[in-house]
Amino acid sequence: MSTPSRSESDIAVVGAGPAGLAAALAAAGFGCTVTLIDSGPAIGGQIYRQNLLGADRGAGAPGAGAVPPRLRRAARHRRIRHLAATSVWHAEQEPDGWFRLRLAGPDRPEPEPDGEAGGTGTALGGQAGGAGPAVLRARAVVLATGAAELVLPFPGWDLPGVTTAGAAQALLKSQGVTVGQRVLVSGSGPLLFPVAAGLAEAGVRVVAVLEATAARVGARHAVRFAAYPGKLREAAGYAATLVRHRVPVRAGHAVVACRGAGRVERATIARLDRDWRPVPGSRREEAVDAVHVSFGFSPALDLARLLGCADAQHPIRPTAAVRCDADLATSVAGVFAAGEVTGVGGAQAAELKGYLAGASAARYLGRLHPVAYTARTRTLRSRLGPARRFAALLDDAYPLRPGWLDWPEPDTIACRCEETRWAEIGRAVAAGAADVRSVKGLTRCGMGYCQGRICGPIVQYAVAAAAGRPLGEVGDLHSRPVLTPVPLDVIAGEG
């Protein structure tokens, strides 16, 4: 077979959310050629997801088309080429230090003969989508791959109509579509409020917002939140929307089961104790046609792991984050990271990290003198301090408690792709499987289409609890040699 087409760029930025857009702009501003790669059809990521139906439809989708002008410049910058609807399915560092990223997406071109790749100039033009290289070579990489939503299993969580809160938000923003008309929003963390507010504004009857963390636990952090008036105003805006639409917020409650014939029809709500165990006698049912759940986020480490970047396990959550120094350089020279992949902190922190990572990549390539780099990033670092402290505060305010392990029943699905039951995980540990990989081998958990992105954190937490081992000692399912499903002929074409 002929050699895949090749294009070259100074810097490859993977992810076009706030962090990726900021990194691309910063690097391009210092003279670097940048290829911005994202699996979405338009820039913005989840937080600035675009309304794909046009301004005249999906009017109930708050935030649609709301990419800030300062970031929107990335779509037309002459040194930035945007490859939309494109995924990196494999990556490696070559002996000469360059990075080779193999790409998959629509309209990938026919392979070019050796020696006709065209050099760095072929990756320019500020073009979005369309034909792009099947292989991209870059001198440096910025990882802005974001995070996946963390969900916890309960009986009926696999019924149609039960989705993540992020999925409900994405459908509303990009398509103006709602999953149901009488819904519950349940879980833990600040995402619940904008999702519920957006649905209510779109005409959905939001029965309640259920926050698993007890009110008395959250109240202890109120004084610390007062140091962030901008964040408080944002939260107050969502709260006002919920009050206007008469949506109650119940702390210390969660959906712990769903029932229905062919789709969700009823949700079981329980009051939770401090550790999230259902309080006996507190269960009640609510008629619904959709339930949206979220318990935070898990940084997407697939590509970072493939490139050899070290990461750090969260002490109490089944998540990890890419380990970076003060300049957002990873353990691999030439690879930088920004945004949620370095630790979940929200859009503002992600954008600031993006600017810093882009500037650091430019300095690494010699486009920015170290003295100038220090001066140009001084303000960024001063603004990053409060953003990081706020992220740490959120982490403290919304802990993941072990009582959720009581929610699933023995026949509850743990791995939706392979239909692995909850009891099978316990039996595997009892049979001697003391880590996630061993459980995967005995149960096929994590071998399906999503490759453990949904069930991986669940299994990690469950195995650690059952085996009596720390989360960091039982492993996870983040590592995989092929990052996203691709046609076999694409892999075969690599020789």
What does pLDDT average to in each consecutive run of 10 residues of the chain (495 residues)?
62 97 98 96 86 48 65 94 94 96 70 35 40 85 96 97 96 91 97 96 98 79 80 92 97 97 97 96 97 96 97 94 97 98 93 98 97 96 92 90 96 95 95 94 91 93 94 91 83 69
- Domain count of the fold of the chain: 3
Looking up residue 262, the CATH number of its domain turns out to be 3.50.50.60
Q: From residue 15, give the alpha-carbon distance in Å to each of 43, 214, 304, 489.
A: 9, 35, 13, 25
CATH number, domain of 453, equals 1.10.10.1100
Residues 290 and 304 in one domain: no
Q: Give kind and range of the element (H or E) at residue 10.
A: strand 6-14
Q: Output the pLDDT for position 486.
A: 82
Q: Cα separation of 420 and 455, whole Å?
A: 10
Q: Are residue 166 and residue 112 in the same domain, yes or no?
A: no
Output the pLDDT for position 162.
98
Residues 282 and 326 in one domain: no
In a domain, 374, yes or no: no
* CB distance 188 to 164 below 8 Å: no
pLDDT computed for residue 227 by the predictor: 83
pTM of the entire structure?
0.90
pLDDT at residue 126, rounded to an integer: 43
- The H-or-E segment that residue 22 falls in is helix 18-29
Asked if residue 87 and residue 140 are part of one domain, the reply reads yes
Q: Are strands 290-294 and 162-164 parallel, antiparallel or unpaired?
A: parallel
Q: What is the pLDDT of residue 225?
A: 81
Residues 100 and 130 in one domain: yes
78 and 193 inside one domain: no
Contacts of 298 (CB under 8 A, 6+ apart): 147, 148, 149, 150, 318, 319, 456, 457
Q: Rounded distance, CA 93 to CA 2, Å?
A: 22
pLDDT of residue 494: 66
CA 405 to chain centre: 23
Q: Are strands 87-93 and 99-104 parallel, antiparallel or unpaired?
A: antiparallel
Smallest Cα–Cα separation from 481: which of 298, 302, 299, 311? 302
Asked whether residue 387 is domain-assigned, the answer is no
The DSSP annotation for 391-422 comes to HHHHHHHSPPPGGGGGSS-TTSEEETTTTEEH
Determine which helix (DSSP H) or strand (DSSP E) holds 103, and give its type and residue range.
strand 99-104
Residues 142 and 156 in one domain: no
Q: Euclidean distance between the first and final Cα of the chain, in Å?
A: 7
Residues 214 and 259 in one domain: yes
pLDDT value at residue 136: 95
The answer to whether residues 458 and 318 touch, using CB atoms and an 8 Å cutoff, is: yes
Same domain flag for 141 and 46 = yes
Residues 308 and 262 in one domain: no
Alpha-helical segments (H) within 176-291: 192-201, 215-219, 222-225, 229-244
Please check whether residue 274 lies inside any domain of the structure: yes
Question: What's the one-letter identity of residue 120?
Answer: T
- Structural domain containing residue 429: 408-473
How confident is the model at residue 117, as a pLDDT? 33
Q: Which residues contact 271 (CB under 8 A, 6 or more apart)?
A: 252, 253, 278, 279, 282
Do 224 and 288 fall within a single domain?
A: yes
126 and 225 housed in the same domain: no
